[in-house]
Chain A
């Protein structure tokens, strides 16, 4: 689907917050993405679904600047960012919750969160508001991040990203390792986070939760977008077909 078409269905002519335009991505000689296009509007939740190896994480890493692309393939807030490295992108308001958490192991919970806050973007997220979101982290704020359980570490990774007060939040497996009750709470909270002016891209294997939360969904298969639209428009069969290629 072309961007022009995406805007048309959306009924708006303005530039989306994030526009990915015919993005190719490579690992050495191996091509992982083939002409992937997607648009994320301000305050929107967008899901990217697909089997493992379909290119979902590659897409997020390209947007976050961890994989280089041509400048114009990724435009954020009107600025071509495809060739930028992660640090300036975080300053511009793109934050990631990476797969595998990637916390700073020598730092405490509080310090990990402060790393996110250190870039100095203003906004609603502070240590206090993150602790309100995850009371568990307040109890454990002075502990080393590595002494936390897997699920608690995931909470720190989410909190650290929010502490940058992002305009765009990239979530790779948000729910990984979290108890069902916490997953429910987070998905219940997403609309509130979005209402604070944040757009969210979710890569999630639990597609039921992801689709319920999203305005727009893109299905990736072998590095290509095979289906996109609003979750309400897509039948379960269409998702299955795009997912598994059957």
Chain B
């Protein structure tokens, strides 16, 4: 599997706190990768390094074979990297549909009128079709999470970075989201998913990496990664044999 997104020897620290120490990561084309790690390990910061909001101290970010380390977040978005945020960040005063139009038009350099159809379709896919004209700020948590996904998808990404999309959802709602993410994945989008709801991750991803102390302390098939003794100890909080 050729890599669509890679980190090469990336280092990043905030003062004494090291979140990446000579870190290598490669996301295969079409792969769904889960990322776990203790609070404050630097998972979300790695998304910042990938999307260009956070410069690494050293190392390179590649999209396919292209070095994108020096590119701005908008440039990377146009090349096909999209992300969602832990706390959904919609334009609260706009309607759901308008939120999608902004994402689709700006990310793809198109006129608004050219993206109406695609925006409507994406909303439908994400289960927001009947809420198109609702003000985004008035949505329930599940729908705000859906909108967060829909906006990222509206940019037509090749790589989708998901940051804790399942947190705060009930079991049934989480199941809805898992089905949606599986479908996105089947459409050919490569995914990195940071999530503490481990069972949701296990239902979707091919591989899990666990970030702690600036390195990946596990990089394995999902079930094996979660049972890794060090992961069980410092992340799951259960003895490995449980």
Residues of A within 8 A of B (CB): 51-53, 99-101, 136, 140, 147-152, 154-155, 173, 176-185, 205, 207, 243-244
18 intermolecular pairs with C-beta atoms under 8 Å apart? A52-B140, A52-B141, A53-B142, A101-B87, A140-B40, A149-B40, A173-B167, A177-B164, A177-B196, A178-B196, A179-B38, A179-B235, A180-B196, A180-B236, A180-B237, A181-B234, A182-B237, A243-B172
Whether B170 and A151, one on each chain, are in contact in the complex, defined by CB atoms closer than 8 angstroms, is no
The contact string, 1 if C-beta is below 8 Å from chain A, for chain B 200-242, is: 0000000000000000000000000000000000111110000
Docked complex Cα distance between A178 and B234 (Å)? 13
Query: Which of chain B's residues have a CB closer than 8 A to the CB of A154?
Result: 39
- Within the complex, what minimum Cβ distance (angstroms) separates B237 from chain A? 3
In addition to A151-B39, A177-B86, 19 A-B residue pairs with Cβ atoms within 8 Å of each other are: A51-B173, A101-B87, A136-B39, A140-B40, A147-B14, A149-B39, A149-B44, A150-B39, A150-B164, A177-B164, A177-B167, A177-B196, A179-B38, A179-B39, A179-B196, A180-B235, A181-B234, A181-B235, A205-B173
Query: Which of chain B's residues have a CB closer than 8 A to the CB of A181?
Result: 38, 234-237
Is B25 an interface residue when CB atoms closer than 8 A count as contact? no
Residues of B within 8 A of A (CB): 14, 36-45, 86-87, 140-143, 164, 167-173, 196, 198, 234-238
Whether A176 and B40, one on each chain, are in contact in the complex, defined by CB atoms closer than 8 angstroms, is no
- Within the complex, what minimum Cβ distance (angstroms) separates A17 from chain B? 27
Whether A182 and B168, one on each chain, are in contact in the complex, defined by CB atoms closer than 8 angstroms, is no
Docked complex Cα distance between A173 and B38 (Å)? 18
- Within the complex, what minimum Cβ distance (angstroms) separates B16 from chain A? 9
Contact among A53, A178, A244 for B39, CB-based, below 8 A: A178
Whether A52 and B167, one on each chain, are in contact in the complex, defined by CB atoms closer than 8 angstroms, is no
- The residue of chain B having its C-beta at the shortest distance from the C-beta of A204 within the complex is B168
Whether B87 and A100, one on each chain, are in contact in the complex, defined by CB atoms closer than 8 angstroms, is yes
Docked complex Cα distance between A99 and B143 (Å)? 15
Whether A205 and B198, one on each chain, are in contact in the complex, defined by CB atoms closer than 8 angstroms, is no
Whether B40 and A243, one on each chain, are in contact in the complex, defined by CB atoms closer than 8 angstroms, is no
Whether B140 and A53, one on each chain, are in contact in the complex, defined by CB atoms closer than 8 angstroms, is yes
Contact among B37, B167, B173, B236 for A176, CB-based, below 8 A: B167
Whether A152 and B167, one on each chain, are in contact in the complex, defined by CB atoms closer than 8 angstroms, is no
Contact among B42, B44, B168, B235 for A205, CB-based, below 8 A: B168
Query: Which of chain B's residues have a CB closer than 8 A to the CB of A51?
Result: 170, 172-173
Task: Tell whether A185 pairs with B237 under 8 Å between CB atoms, given A52-B169, A149-B44, A205-B168.
Answer: yes
Docked complex Cα distance between A181 and B38 (Å)? 8
Whether A176 and B168, one on each chain, are in contact in the complex, defined by CB atoms closer than 8 angstroms, is yes
Query: Which of chain A's residues have a CB closer than 8 A to the CB of B38?
Result: 179, 181
Query: Which of chain B's residues have a CB closer than 8 A to the CB of A178?
Result: 39, 196
Whether B44 and A150, one on each chain, are in contact in the complex, defined by CB atoms closer than 8 angstroms, is yes
Query: Which of chain A's residues have a CB closer than 8 A to the CB of B167?
Result: 173, 176-177
Task: Tell whether A150 pairs with B234 under 8 Å between CB atoms, given A52-B170, A52-B173.
Answer: no
- Within the complex, what minimum Cβ distance (angstroms) separates B147 from chain A? 13
Query: Which of chain A's residues have a CB closer than 8 A to the CB of B238?
Result: 184
Query: Which of chain B's residues have a CB closer than 8 A to the CB of A179?
Result: 36-39, 196, 235, 237
Docked complex Cα distance between A244 and B236 (Å)? 30
Whether B39 and A152, one on each chain, are in contact in the complex, defined by CB atoms closer than 8 angstroms, is yes
